[in-house]
Amino acid sequence: MSWQARFADTPDVLLSEQRRGTVVPVLDLAIGGDEFVTIAGPCAVENEFQLMATAQRVRRSGARILRGGAFKPRSSPYSFQGLGREALRLLARARRETGLAIVTEVMSPEDVPLVAEYADILQIGSRSMENFSLLEAAARSGRPILLKRGLVATIADLLRSAQFVLDNGNKNVILCERGIRTFDTTLRNTFDAAGIALLKQITHLPVIADPSHACGDRHLVPMLARIGIAAGADGLIVEVHPDPDNAMSDGEQSLDFAAFDAMMAGLEPWVALRKRCLDVVESSALQAMEAVG
């Protein structure tokens, strides 16, 4: 069975002669093009010092987009829920001072206008991937959408959510593999590197990897980042904090500044190899599409 037949209900997200590769513009960036884009920053914006110090450091090490949660969907009602509007103001200030684009999560349709006022990319988190009212509102904001794969979502589920965003007039969708829940509980999630490779073969949308959530262990993040690049990812989203042991959210999977610097330096040969392979990968994908289409 061809991919076109298997995913017949999501035709607009599939690779075709008419849709060979979507490049998502964000400020002066082009996600899905030749440049490998790293997104980095804290899980949650905690205070001015934490965010500004992180923004300056990740910028120096090569990140192009700053991540930081203003509204946090936490499993426990007693966990830190984010600073809300104040965090958005801090993110906007970080953009002014560093030139980094901003991505942050939006959790409800009602919050979309507020978050879109400050953010360059709206993140739809894994818990919200099938919140179709939120997807519609986010799509109609006109901002690019970073769509994270749900905790137990199949590839088909992810593509259906992407199709929904496209159906609501927004073609700038970035898919994100962030690990899924499986029977194995050794790590926080199971990183589906094969899912990245498959998405790059069958869709025209950019795909990024989230090695932080994929494992939940900061020591494994650099290795999973390399795997993501090898699988064909167009970028990474990584959690970085000045003091992970005292972070208010996801400290166990956050890199400190020195670890982030080392990871970025270690990724340079992998990113260089990716650039040389882009033409080969695209040609292979088109040949596979023609063979089964």
What pLDDT, on a 0 to 100 scale, did the predictor assign at position 5?
84
Q: 145 pLDDT band (50/70/90 cuts)?
A: very high
Q: 72 pLDDT band (50/70/90 cuts)?
A: low
169 Rama sector, left if φ>0, alpha if ψ -120 to 50, beta otherwise = left
Span 130-149, average pLDDT: 98
Has residue 292 got a pLDDT over 70? no
List Cα–Cα distances, 198 to 3, 28, 239, 281, 285, in angstroms. Answer: 10, 28, 25, 12, 10
Q: What's the number of CA atoms in the CB half-sphere (13 Å) around residue 282?
A: 19
3-state secondary structure of 175: strand
Has residue 132 got a pLDDT over 80? yes
Q: 1 pLDDT band (50/70/90 cuts)?
A: low
User: pLDDT for 166-191, tens place per residue?
Assistant: 999 999 999 999 999 999 999 999 99
Has residue 269 got a pLDDT over 70? yes
List Cα–Cα distances, 182 to 49, 108, 154, 228, 238, in angstroms. Answer: 37, 27, 12, 19, 22
Return the CATH number at 153: 3.20.20.70
What pLDDT, on a 0 to 100 scale, did the predictor assign at position 3?
80
User: pLDDT for 198-257, tens place per residue?
Assistant: 999 999 999 999 999 999 999 999 999 999 999 999 999 999 999 999 999 899 999 999
Residue 83: closest CA among 44, 31, 37, 36 = 44
Least confident range from 73-82, 124-133, 165-174, 275-284: namely 73-82
Helix/strand/coil (H, E, C) string of 11-27? HHHECCCCCCCCCEEEC
What pLDDT, on a 0 to 100 scale, did the predictor assign at position 75?
55
Span 120-143, average pLDDT: 97
State the total domains in the chain. 1
Q: Which domain holds residue 78?
A: 3-292
User: pLDDT for 16-56, tens place per residue?
Assistant: 888 888 999 999 999 999 899 999 999 999 999 999 999 99
What pLDDT, on a 0 to 100 scale, did the predictor assign at position 243?
97
Residue that has been written with the tokens 């203003």 in this structure: 70
User: pLDDT for 74-120, tens place per residue?
Assistant: 555 555 566 889 999 999 999 999 999 999 999 999 999 999 999 99
What pLDDT, on a 0 to 100 scale, did the predictor assign at position 290?
56
What pLDDT, on a 0 to 100 scale, did the predictor assign at position 288?
57
